[in-house]
Every structure is written in structure tokens, then in C-alpha cells.
Amino acid sequence: MNIAIFGTGVVGRMLASKCSELGHGVAIGTRDIQSSHGSEDLKQFLAGHSEISLRSFPDAAKFGELAINAVSGANSIAALKMAGADNLRGKVLIDISNPLDFSAGMPPTLSICNTFSLGEEIQSTFPETKVVKTLNTMTAALMVYPSLLPGDHNVFINGNESSAKAEVVDLLQQFGWKAANILDLGDISASRGVEMYLPIWLRLYGSLETAVFNIHVVK
């Protein structure tokens, strides 16, 4: 499957590398190809992954049969608008972003929460795209290498369309997630829950002194 990954940061590169390793066609989408080529990290990454192409947001969106939003929360809506509603129409869009607001320093607050969420805002801005929120509750490496942690721990998934969620569950299983550890929290409004989990994640990150942790729901 051809996958478009929006965002050239650590999360975007980690997902691109894993999807490519799994045999998918991968294009990384960026706002400005010229300035992205100026980034040393990205230059090295692309040099090591000749099968992954760097494209403009709209070109990446056209390429992808499925798209992944790995742009920062603050820039997600603008980036997806550049990718274009037409190019995303009818496709599954995995949203892994968090609406973190660093403008007042650390710790960040959420720019949107409680009665709305970024996942919902993306879905309502692109009503003909099937938004599925997942993977936003952990550090990048764990998203695609869940076995970095011993034993069972969970990834959450939510969205309005069952068929779209099934497609994402399949991709998560390719990443190494056991079916039993993928928890469906319901429709896209559950994005409030998984995004509002970030403040406790940030506190745990501070206490545990590592980002490589996750939660296991015990029942």
C-alpha cells in the first residue's frame, strides 16, 4: 500500500522507516521541500532510505492510499489543508498528533480540550476523510516497536468508521501490536480522552526519567 506521512520530525521519520521496512510505498510530505532538504537530520535519513520520497503535502497526499498526520498539533490543520481535501477524500487519515501548546513554556498545556479535540477538529474540517486517532499516547519508538517494552501494554484507537478502524488495526498489527492490546474507545470524540491523557503522560515522563513507558489496562 502507498502511505503518505505528513511531517518530517522524529515521529514522521520513525513511521516512514517502519512502513517502508514492511514493504509499503512511502512518501513523506512537507510544507516546503527546499527548506526540508536543508535539515541535516532529514538529509541523513533520506540518504539512508532511498526508497522513501520527500514530496510537497499535496503531492504526498495524492500518492498515499492511506495518510498519517505526524505534524505537530499546532500546525496540523494548516498542513492538512495544504495537502488538500480533494487529495484526502475517501481515504483513511491516521491522526497521531497532540494539541500541545508550548507558548507559555514547560509543561505545555493543550490548545484544545475538554469539549472538543484536535481529532474531532480534523474530522469536521475534512468530513469526507475517515479520521482514525491512534498512537498519540506514547513516544515515537514504541509506536512502531511495541516490543521495546516487556509484556502487555495498550494502544488506543478511535474514529467514526468501523471499516477505517479495521484498516488501522491491521497496520498496527504489522507494527507489532497484538490484537488484544489494541483498545477501541469508540467514535472520534474519544480523541478528547486520549489527548487529555497527555498531561499525566508528561508527569510520568518526568517521574520515570524515560519516555519509553506505556500503560496497560488491567481488568
Phi, psi of 56 (to 5 degrees): -70, 160
200 binds a second copy (CB under 8 A): yes
- Candidates 28-36, 37-45, 121-129, 183-191; binding stretch for a second copy (CB under 8 A): 183-191
List the interface residues with a second copy, window 92-151 (CB under 8 A).
109-110, 113-115, 149-151
Using the 8-state DSSP alphabet, how is residue 132 labeled?
Answer: E
In angstroms, give the least distance from the CB of 115 to a second copy: 6
Q: Using CB under 8 A, pick the residue from 32, 128, 173, 217 that binds a second copy.
A: 217
Our finding on whether 182 is near a second copy (CB under 8 A) is no
Q: Give residues with Cβ within 8 angstroms of 187, minimum separation 6.
A: 158, 159, 160
Q: Which of 99, 96, 94, 95 shows the shortest CA–CA distance to 74?
A: 99
- DSSP for 20-54, written as a single string: HHTT-EEEEEES-HHHHHT-HHHHHHHHH-TTSEE
Q: How many residues bind a second copy (CB under 8 A)?
A: 41
Binding stretches for a second copy (CB under 8 A):
109-110, 113-115, 149-153, 156, 158, 183-186, 190, 192-194, 196-204, 206-208, 210, 212-219
